[in-house]
Amino acid sequence: MAAISASTYPAAGVSPFSQRSATSSSGGIRNLSRILAVSTERGGRGTGFGENGKHEKQKLNQKVVKEESEVKPNIYANPEKLPEFEEDKKWLKDYFEECKEMIRSDGGPPRWFSPLECSSFTSPDCPLLLFLPGIDGTGLGLIMHHHKLGKMFNVWCLHIPAQDRTPFNELVKLVERTVRSENYRSPNRPIYLVGESIGACLAISVAAPNPDMDLVLVLSNPATSFSQSQLQPLIPLLEMMPDEFPINLPYILSLATGYFADMLLNFLGCISSSNPLTVLMDNVVKKGSLPQIIGELSQDLATMSSYLPVLADIVPRQTLLWKLNLLKSGSACANSCLHAVKAQLLILCSGRDQLLPSQEESQRLQKALLDCEIRMFEESGHFLFLEDNVDLVTVIKGASFYRRGKHFDCASDFMPPTPSEFKKLHDSISWVLTATSPVMLSTLEDGKVVRGLAGIPSEGPVLFVGYHMLMGFEVIPLVAQIMMERNILVRGIAHPAMFVRVKDRRPPEPELSDFDILRVMGAVPVSAANFYKLMSSKSHALLYPGGIREALHRKGEEYKLFWPDKSEFVRMAARFGAKIIPFGVVGEDDFAEIILDYNDLMKIPWRREEIERVTSRTAKLRTDASGEIANQQMHIPWVLPKFPGRFYYYFGKPILTEGMKVELREKKKCDEMYLHIKSEVEGCIDFLKNKREKDPYRNLLSRALYQASHPGSTSPFHLPSFDL
């Protein structure tokens, strides 16, 4: 069995959007009892919804089941019209409005609460997520993510009242009691600790003495670097200042960021970058009206300024001094026990954090911890979770950190991409689709070849088996178009290099985060177990038997199959009665020409050493194979780009395996089926190579002229080509 190559998806790393909604979804101030379900118990279950809440929840569940049973239109057909954010998403305005409500009735000890917008969707088998707040202590730091987190987690948030003076070690005990209690209730389910700055120190301090618990830590800009930050010198300054001096959190932030307006933009999350001009120009490109954008930014700045008193109420002067000392003690405590942390960690690091040296700290923590990954947000500030362009759920899914049991299950733990996630993917690869203008052909059951993907079965399991073009460039249009035209998610069976972090990575070894979007779209590492799970869950799976050897082929090997002698996938497909769709794709020779292949690179001493090093550090596949398919050297051939041509896809007639399970147990029959599939793939390639010669729009220039003369023909998938 082989996989999508590690070089697949050149646009795999997709940056989230940086655009702020002009209106709030909250509809104004609401009663606090409607916003939160609050428990005043320190270590108890956390919520009690009452009979009315149960009846409403039952009605909601019945409604969801009814809606799922109905046939829905394909919302992915027009990615440009998909929403950038989910309809029920909350915004920064909601954060301040709900903070005001919470402060009015504040008091008492630290306690857990569960947001009502999360509890409406929570399934009994969802893992528990405990949010440990940053310096604000409100517990509302994830308010912009509640709508999505609630569909995957049972969310509890820790609220620390502004006047509370619980020391750090007592906060650790509080969280630890809750973790142990919930672990006792559900020992086979992980517990997620999401911590921000001081909350990250709490999470580390809880995980260290509990190495046997299944904990997953997601830490945003950990305050373990407090001793190196510009905040520490403020402690003696605050202690010396007289009480009449007006020092509070807004004032401190203005000192830390350099100038007041930039502080507002950076802290309040109006934009993701500390460079307002960059964001301003991005918005002008999107909306096309400079006066309108300037007016909106001015209005936002005025609105944000009105919330400065709320900041002062959240962290008044004495509380600020207490919190800074809490940061100091929490940082020391967390650093002292780093060596004992065995939990799975994901560190979210901001590139423009002006309060803590988060970039350097994330690298230090990764070296000190056993199982730690980093996701960098280059243009974000310290308060990462309050920025519009940061989607915590997408980050967790992309890092393969979401699971309901002890280990990640590619079938039961997979959460399909949301419309907004697919829109971000589509927008990031739109240039690829425009440049390639893919022609898609498929075959109906009666053998008729048609334009489009009508010949692809809707019901799984379905296994796509085909040719892997150079660098795997063909996968992007394939997955995107099947999703848009048929509302079918094709899940790639990919090389393990996309899933395993290499310790002490050095170029040209890829960053694991480069493949996050592949995991969001459902890619799984190649293995017999994962193949079994995809087929048993009736998925549409994508398999390249030629794998790395085919995708990183040599000069003159275009459109040549490098399949193993063994019929690796046929028996498994027949076991579940899967429909096998052989397909071919051509077009790589219209986009690039290999000038230095593997054989050439191995003659260059420093390149040879680099290839050998990368290959030795990469997971091995087909160790028992012989011949060319055994050559799994990881390298990137040097190519010379050409003036863009076009990609052509031809999906052959589905091969039915239902009822052949017993028959294909015989090796001879299985080998015959395998050779038949291979022959069909080669036939599809030959068909396309001949047909494309008759395409008057094979060249990018001819397609551009056609689109210019036909203004309505904007989709790269709907441009004309050859006659069938």
**What's the Cα-to-Cα distance from 431 to each of 3, 198, 435, 436, rounded to whole Å?**
25, 41, 6, 9
Dist CA 578 CA 574 (whole Å): 6
| Structure confidence at residue 120 (pLDDT) | 60
Closest CA to 615 of 470, 468, 497: 497
Inter-residue contact 218 to 352 (CB < 8 Å): no
Dist CA 332 CA 26 (whole Å): 39
| Structure confidence at residue 662 (pLDDT) | 84
Residue 455, pLDDT > 80, answer: yes
Q: Cβ–Cβ contacts within 10 Å for residue 699, how many? A: 15
**CA quadruple 657, 661, 662, 664: dihedral positive or negative?**
positive
**Residue 464 parent element (H or E):** strand 462-466
What integer is the mean pLDDT of 505-527?
87
DSSP for residue 226: G
Mean pLDDT of the chain: 81
| Structure confidence at residue 603 (pLDDT) | 95
Closest CA to 20 of 342, 533, 386, 424: 386
Inter-residue contact 396 to 235 (CB < 8 Å): no
| Structure confidence at residue 498 (pLDDT) | 85
Inter-residue contact 538 to 460 (CB < 8 Å): yes
pLDDT confidence bin for 99, thresholds 50/70/90: confident
| % of the chain at pLDDT higher than 90 | 54
Closest CA to 174 of 159, 154, 192: 159
pLDDT confidence bin for 117, thresholds 50/70/90: confident
Inter-residue contact 676 to 688 (CB < 8 Å): no
Residue 269, pLDDT > 50, answer: no
DSSP for residue 223: G
| Structure confidence at residue 576 (pLDDT) | 95
Inter-residue contact 604 to 499 (CB < 8 Å): no
| Structure confidence at residue 244 (pLDDT) | 55
What integer is the mean pLDDT of 573-597?
95
> Could you read off the pLDDT of 119-163 as tens digits, one per residue?
666 677 899 999 999 988 999 999 999 999 999 999 999 999 988
Dist CA 443 CA 247 (whole Å): 72
What integer is the mean pLDDT of 669-696?
96
What integer is the mean pLDDT of 580-592?
96
What is the full DSSP assignment across 496-549? GGGTSPPTT--TTSPPGGGGHHHHHTT-EE--HHHHHHHHHTT-EEEE-TTHHH
Closest CA to 1 of 645, 494, 538, 384: 494
Tokens of 206: 């809880």
Secondary structure of 63-74 in the HEC alphabet?
Answer: HHHHHHHCCCCC
Give the domain 92-230+327-399 fold. Rossmann fold (3.40.50)
Distance in Å from the first CA to the final CA of the chain: 34
pLDDT confidence bin for 416, thresholds 50/70/90: very high
Per DSSP, the three-state class of 163 is coil
What integer is the mean pLDDT of 549-567?
92
> Could you read off the pLDDT of 602-611 as tens digits, one per residue?
999 999 999 9
Inter-residue contact 132 to 202 (CB < 8 Å): yes
Inter-residue contact 498 to 515 (CB < 8 Å): yes
Give the CB-side neighbour count of residue 568, counting CA atoms within 13 A. Answer: 22
Dist CA 564 CA 525 (whole Å): 19
Residue 15, pLDDT > 90, answer: no
Residues 576-598 as b/e (b if ≥16 CB within 10 A, e otherwise) read bebbbbbbbbbbbebbbebebbb
Beta strands in 301-430 (DSSP E): 344-350, 372-377
Dist CA 24 CA 30 (whole Å): 13
Closest CA to 38 of 127, 109, 144, 91: 109
Q: Are strands 648-651 and 579-586 parallel, antiparallel or unpaired?
A: antiparallel
How do the domains of the chain map onto residue ranges?
92-230+327-399, 235-319, 422-501+508-591+645-709
Q: Give the architecture (CATH level 2) of 422-501+508-591+645-709.
A: 3-Layer(aba) Sandwich (3.40)
DSSP for residue 15: P
Q: Which residue has the higher pLDDT, 261 or 640?
A: 640
Residue 56, pLDDT > 50, answer: no
Residue 723, pLDDT > 50, answer: yes
| Structure confidence at residue 350 (pLDDT) | 94
